[in-house]
Homo-oligomer: A and B are copies of this chain.
Amino acid sequence: MFTERHHHHVPTARERVRTEITAEITDAARRQLAEVGAAALSLRAVARELGMASSALYRYFPSRDELLTRLIIDGYDALGATAETADDPTAAPRERWLAVCRAVRAWALAHPHEYALLYGSPVPGYSAPQDTVPSASRVGVVLGRVLGDAARAGALPEAGGGALPEAGGGDDPRVVTPEAVAILGGEHPALDDAVRVRALLAWSSVYGTISFELFGHLVGSVADGDRYFDRAMTELARMMGL
């Protein structure tokens, strides 16, 4: 490709204008994404808005899916950043939990199309490349840290209250992979597989609640979205023992 004679070199004028134009493209694409949604995001329309030929865009993004991938990663990072800044590690567990949940929902309501791009149905032939994983896991990490800190502090009582018999058999191997264990805060005596399953379930519940609201699946069932969300997340925290 290009010669990289030292570990990092001063960007030439060519490279500078290239990254600049790339940023303009992603900005225009993000604007159009916010307006018409991901499915209707047209590469030609982006080119029109920028006043260049559609074929010129392919010098910067080899395909429309690559441009979408860029937007996806940026979206994950934006959402993850808001979740991280919303978490005050010195607050009480339930307040931390509620604050992060509210922040995630607020971001989703402010960027509905981006949220749909991140968490809605995957686009037809498109499969998320591996480099989206770090950005995608950020908000899950935040929620996992909140629950993990609470568990280490003695909250989140053991799950096996009812001593429910495992239906599939006697053995009880772990279902949470070691990678996820590392992401969720590593090993700790107070963190067993059941607690981690509960953390995954909690994140799934938050995601389900926000998506239900955003995708219109409880339009006739809930009067006040804000208050319902607070009530539901409080109830979820209470049920988890937070």
- Residues on A facing B (Cβ under 8 Å): 36-40, 116-117, 119-125, 127-128, 133, 136, 159, 161-162, 164, 167-168, 173-177, 179-180, 183, 194, 197-198, 200-201, 203-209, 211-212, 215-218, 220-224, 227-228, 230-232, 234-236, 238-240
Contacts and interface: CB of A to CB of B under 8 A. Distances in A.
A100 to B, nearest CB: 15
Nearest to A238: B162
Stoichiometry (number of copies): 2
A142 to B, nearest CB: 15
A71 to B, nearest CB: 14
B197 A231 contact: yes
Contacts of A211: 119, 207-208, 211
Nearest to A193: B231
A107 B205 CA distance: 20
A119 B218 CA distance: 12
Contact of A125 (B40, B124, B231): B40
A119 B231 contact: no
A204 B235 CA distance: 13
Contacts of A164: 234, 238
B121 A223 contact: no
A230 B200 contact: no
